[in-house]
Amino acid sequence: MKNTLAILFWTLPLFAASQSTHILTINPAGPGGGTAANAQIARFGPFSCGVSGTMILANNGQGSTLGCGSISNDLTGKVALIDRGTCSFAEKVLNAQNKGAKAVVVINNAADTTLINMGPTDPFSKDVVIPSFFVTQSTGNALKTALNAGQQIAIAARPVAEQDPLARTIVWGNLPGQGDFAGGRNGWTVNNIWCINGQTKPKGDLWQWSADAFAPGNCGRGDILSPTRCNGAMAFASNFLDDKGGACGQGLGTGDCPVGQLGELISPVIPLRGQGTSGYTLKFYQSLRQFNSDYFLLWSVNGGATWDTTAINQEFETYEVNTVPYLLVPLSGTTNADSLIVKFLFQGNYYFWVIDDVQILVQEPNNLRITDFYALPANMYTPLSQVEPVGFLADVANIGSQAQAGVRLKMTVQDSTAAVRFQAENALGALASNSLLENQVVPGTFTPNAVGSYKGAYEVISGLTDFDPTDNVRSFTFFVTDSTFAKEDGTNTRTISPDLNNWAANEPPSVAYGNVFYVPRGKGVFPGISSLSSPMPRSLKGVD
């Protein structure tokens, strides 16, 4: 009898929103009414800065509320409610638009609290000119119950406003017309340096004010989740400047400023009046998609005579987009400064960088953090017969204005009963202000010896109270199984296709994807595969 190791194979994940972009206010009171619900706006159609109307349940006259194919009822001037499933999001919205709808709310067909980014994955999305929103199944079912009972539902969608739970002290950028790019640049200037790595000069501004707060082009538009995105943002659309707005991956080098591009977005002189006795921190909202670009922040405390520079966004890999909407950057050398100038420097090689809501904050003295770079096990699921020692390392930063003494990096692994199975520390010692320690190894390794779930947690510790303890710990979960390998747990996944703009007209779309697993003890075992549709392992063809 041969032993089979199952490779658990999930379909490509649909993008899951990190947070809601809009709040739906539902009236009147009653089933589905008198409440506020989270919603996620689609990544096609316009970004809505506020839409309201009477809700109606779309149907095809035969009981279907999927919005696929023809819709029989008149949706003129209404907000259409449609179920998810069968056809694409954009097709549903376009069908409702063609029947006169002013907006669409799509209901999840799975009992899940995750809000999905409805993406522009098919040709229908290009013709959508109305906003659409995604809501959870529980929100949608409450709305349908009320509508089916004959109740009239008025609904309004408004963007989510930012709330800073840490109540940081804002020195500049909290007033209209400072760092919010309301209606234009508001005193910010642009320095257009070069195209094609210095071979040509730009024909126009590389940083452009965008009324819709996103970057033009067909490689993703870069919706930004900033509090004041409704009054505009600044965008550097590298792919649009290179391909003149052609299909993504087509027309390379035909635009007004082919890659590599170099341009600066420069603030006016910002008065500080010495409010930061411990220094300052820059906070800004951003949206980016990386290919091979470089991002820099520069600042000057002497009117531009000299500049400090730091590279940012280095953690993003090719094709990756940011999921955290804002960035905090400590500005070293700004203690007791009377004024400040900041510059965003972009060396563009696809795809885009969008900036909004720039603020200067008083820097807190004690603020350690573990960055987003830390080691994880090779798999989320590993068979017990194939486990290997797991090592641990992480990057630790001091983003406060004061040096920290006695800093320690601790790793703890617990099993499903919360029993500690591994614990070790790296005594890092003193950590200077505004500094980063990379690749700090926790001594020892952990080798699981039983099937079950395990939780690992990195923690950075010092003897002082930390300003923001939420980023002092980074946790993750992994599993040891009887016979299953998997890279993730399959949560919030479904079958999707890549953007059709990746292929020329009439070219059959084709894509392949997969995972790689290392089997350290492979003698006498054979790979099989299972999926959501076929959970029982099947032997792979061609494997003996």
Mean pLDDT, the chain, integer? 87
Query: Domain end: 159, 187, 204, which one?
Result: 159
Amino acid at 178: Q
Same domain? 6 vs 45: no
Task: Decide which of 245 and 302 is more confident.
Answer: 302
End-to-end CA distance of the chain: 13
In a domain, 439, yes or no: yes
pLDDT of residue 497: 56
Alpha carbons 476 and 454: distance in angstroms, whole number? 9
Task: Decide which of 168 and 263 is more confident.
Answer: 263
Residue 175: phi, psi to the nearest 5? -105, 145
In a domain, 432, yes or no: yes
What would you measure as the largest C-alpha separation in the chain, in angstroms? 79
The residue among 349, 354, 346 whose CA lies nearest residue 284 is 354
Task: Decide which of 15 and 426 is more confident.
Answer: 426
Amino acid at 93: V
Out of 27-41, 116-130, 253-267, pick the least confident.
Answer: 27-41
Same domain? 344 vs 418: no
DSSP letter for 16, please: B
Same domain? 285 vs 411: no
Q: In the predicted model, what is the mean pLDDT of residues 186-206?
A: 96
pLDDT of residue 58: 94
pTM of the predicted model as reported, rounded to 2 decimal places: 0.73
Q: In the predicted model, what is the mean pLDDT of residues 253-266?
A: 96
Tens of pLDDT along 29-84?
444 445 788 888 888 888 777 788 899 999 988 889 999 988 999 999 999 999 99
Residue 127: phi, psi to the nearest 5? -100, 0
Q: In the predicted model, what is the mean pLDDT of residues 181-210?
A: 96
Same domain? 194 vs 221: yes
Per the structure, the complete domain to which residue 70 belongs is given by: 22-159
Out of 223-227, 282-286, 368-372, 435-439, pick the least confident.
Answer: 223-227
How many other CB atoms sit within 10 Å of the CB of residue 207? 23
Please list, in sequence order, all residues whose beta carbon lies within 8 angstroms of the beta carbon of residue 256, skipping any fewer than 6 positions away: 195, 202, 203, 204, 241, 244
Asked if 530 contacts 538 with a C-beta cutoff of 8 angstroms, the reply is: yes
Please list, in sequence order, all residues whose beta carbon lies within 8 angstroms of the beta carbon of residue 517, skipping any fewer than 6 positions away: 7, 379, 485
The answer on pLDDT for 542 being more than 60 is no
Give 16's pLDDT tier (boundaries 50, 70, 90): very low
Q: Which of 113-122, 129-138, 353-362 has the highest mean pLDDT?
A: 353-362
Asked if 82 contacts 67 with a C-beta cutoff of 8 angstroms, the reply is: yes
**C-alpha dihedral (144, 148, 154, 157), degrees to nearest 10:** 10
The answer on pLDDT for 276 being more than 70 is no
Out of 19-28, 270-279, 312-321, pick the least confident.
Answer: 19-28
Chain position carrying tokens 């032993």: 3
The residue among 407, 395, 393, 394 whose CA lies nearest residue 466 is 407
The answer on pLDDT for 3 being more than 60 is no
Same domain? 191 vs 323: yes
In a domain, 164, yes or no: no
Task: Decide which of 144 and 499 is more confident.
Answer: 144
CATH (domain of 490): 2.60.40.2550
Please list, in sequence order, all residues whose beta carbon lies within 8 angstroms of the beta carbon of residue 519, skipping any fewer than 6 positions away: 5, 386, 525, 527
Alpha carbons 537 and 301: distance in angstroms, whole number? 64
Per the structure, the count of domains in the chain is: 3
Same domain? 278 vs 350: yes
Same domain? 530 vs 501: yes
Same domain? 231 vs 130: no
Beta-bridged to residue 285, according to DSSP, are 326, 356
H or E stretch covering 141: helix 137-148
Q: In the predicted model, what is the mean pLDDT of residues 228-240?
A: 93
SS3 256: coil
Tens of pLDDT along 80-116?
999 999 999 999 999 999 999 999 999 999 887 778 8
What DSSP string runs through 516-540? ----SS-TTEEEEEE-SS--S-EEP
Same domain? 411 vs 385: yes
Give 258's pLDDT tier (boundaries 50, 70, 90): very high
Same domain? 100 vs 226: no
Q: In the predicted model, what is the mean pLDDT of residues 411-423?
A: 98
Pairing status of strand 368-374 against strand 154-159: unpaired
The answer on pLDDT for 533 being more than 70 is no
CA 406, chain centre distance (Å): 34
CATH (domain of 69): 3.50.30.30
376: left (phi over 0), alpha (psi -120 to 50) or beta: beta
Out of 9-18, 80-89, 205-214, pick the least confident.
Answer: 9-18
Q: In the predicted model, what is the mean pLDDT of residues 419-441?
A: 96
pLDDT of residue 501: 62
Percent of the chain past pLDDT 90, that is, above it, reads 60
- Using alpha carbons only, give the angle 398, 459, 360 rounded to the nearest 5 degrees: 30
pLDDT of residue 530: 67
Asked if 296 contacts 215 with a C-beta cutoff of 8 angstroms, the reply is: no
The answer on pLDDT for 135 being more than 50 is yes
Query: Domain end: 329, 362, 395, which one?
Result: 362
The residue among 496, 497, 483, 478 whose CA lies nearest residue 535 is 483
352: left (phi over 0), alpha (psi -120 to 50) or beta: beta
Same domain? 69 vs 179: no
Asked if 398 contacts 360 with a C-beta cutoff of 8 angstroms, the reply is: no
Chain position carrying tokens 């590298």: 238
In a domain, 165, yes or no: no
The answer on pLDDT for 218 being more than 90 is no
pLDDT of residue 496: 52
The residue among 359, 344, 371 whose CA lies nearest residue 262 is 344
How far, in Å, are 46, 237, 316, 497, 502 from residue 246 at the CA level? 20, 13, 25, 20, 10
Tens of pLDDT along 355-385?
999 999 999 999 999 998 999 999 999 999 9
H or E stretch covering 233: strand 233-237
The answer on pLDDT for 441 being more than 90 is yes
Query: Domain end: 159, 181, 207, which one?
Result: 159
Tens of pLDDT along 476-519?
999 999 999 998 876 655 455 566 666 777 787 777 777 888 89
Same domain? 198 vs 140: no
Amino acid at 319: Y
